[in-house]
Structure 1
Amino acid sequence: MSTKNFKNEITITSKTENLSQVRDFIKSIAETCGFTKEEIGKIILAVDEATTNVIKHAYHYADDKEINIKASCEKGKFSIIISDEGSVFDPNKVPLPDLKEYHKQKKVGGLGMFLMRKLMDDVKYEHFANRNKVTLVKYI
């Protein structure tokens, strides 16, 4: 795997149609970092879930708000920071789902935090200066 160092960022409005732009952005950087196609797919899914959570839960589907996404490939880790100015939401307080019960009840949705935690090596939430910040890390 490559150990190239660099940083990049984009800002999108909180519209679900902008998720494809986020996926392309993350894919491009993850490829440069040297991740496999399978690893890139997992990273993209985790970032997609985190960004969708901002749209749904922080901004309550208001489509004129900003979401900032920074990505860096440094010192053996790929970090993605997703920040917003929406409602405070601490994903650390979301309990792990009972997957058997979830499947039994044929639920749809609600697995975003579970997926992020499973697909990434580290998931951290912070709130400061009226901003939510979720950091997703995948070690190279």
Structure 2
Amino acid sequence: MKTSKLKVKSKTENLSVIRDFVSSHAAEANIEQDIVENIILAVDEACTNIIKHAYHSVPDGEIIIKLKLSGKKFVVTITDYGNSFSPDKIPEPDLQKYYRQKKVGGLGMYLMKTLMDNVEYRSVPGKYNEVLLSKNIKADKSNVR
């Protein structure tokens, strides 16, 4: 699989376009369905965070998603040009407390780290931010053509 690229504006309506893009390319790579669903959820969380926090829901920001199968890794690179942040400052959530207080939101980084094998965040403040998500994969034998 060569690198595939999608550019969208920072609108929540584009999340379904992003999910479909990831789903179709992961299917082409014969990735098991449960792994595909985890990748889609992690990418959805990353892009939602970009829309809400990097661009503060301003709809004209650009989000670039690149997908690549590199050996036995499915790699997703998501680039934006919005505000950066420091992932080190996000504490690990206390899930018991979180559910007791019936909180909504705030688990994006936790979910990405739980669903993916590697999560990296790079930023050049004032220029760009990049989230790198990778998942170790094996081909779904029932899908091999």
TM-score by length of 2: 0.90
Mapping 1:1-140, distance limit 5 Å: 5-128=1-124, 130-140=127-137
Offset at residue 77 of structure 1 (A): 0.6
Residue type matched to 1:113 in 2?
Answer: M
* Deviation at residue 64 of structure 1 after TM alignment: 0.7
> What is the CA–CA distance in structure 1 between the aligned matches of 2:121 and 2:114, rounded to whole Å?
16
Whether the 8 Å contact between 1:13 and 1:63 is mirrored in structure 2 is yes
Per the TM alignment, residue 118 of structure 1 is displaced from its structure 2 partner at its CA by 0.2
List per-residue Cα deviations over 1:66-109 (Å, max 9, x = no partner).
00110101111110001111001122331110000001101011
Question: Once superposed, which parts of structure 1, at least 4 consecutive aligned residues long, lie more than 2 Å away?
Answer: 90-93
Normalising by structure 1, what TM-score?
0.93
Q: Which amino acid aligns with 1:100?
A: Q
Gaps of 5+ in 2: 138-145
Q: How many residues align?
A: 136
How many angstroms apart in 1 are the aligned matches of 2:80 and 2:71? 26
Distance, in Å, in 1 between the alignment partners of 2:130 and 2:18 is 16
Structure 1 position 20, deviation (Å): 0.4
Q: Distance in 1 between matches of 2:86 and 2:40?
A: 21
Partner SS state of residue 43, structure 1:
helix
Unaligned runs of 5+ in 1: none
Measured after TM superposition, the shift of residue 57 of structure 1 is 0.4
- Output one character per residue of 1:3-54: Cα deviation in whole Å (capped at 9) or x when no partner: xx32100000000000000000000111122211111111100000000000
- Give the aligned CA root-mean-square deviation in angstroms: 1.1
**Structure 2: which amino acid aligns with 1:24?**
D
Partner of 1:61, secondary structure, is coil
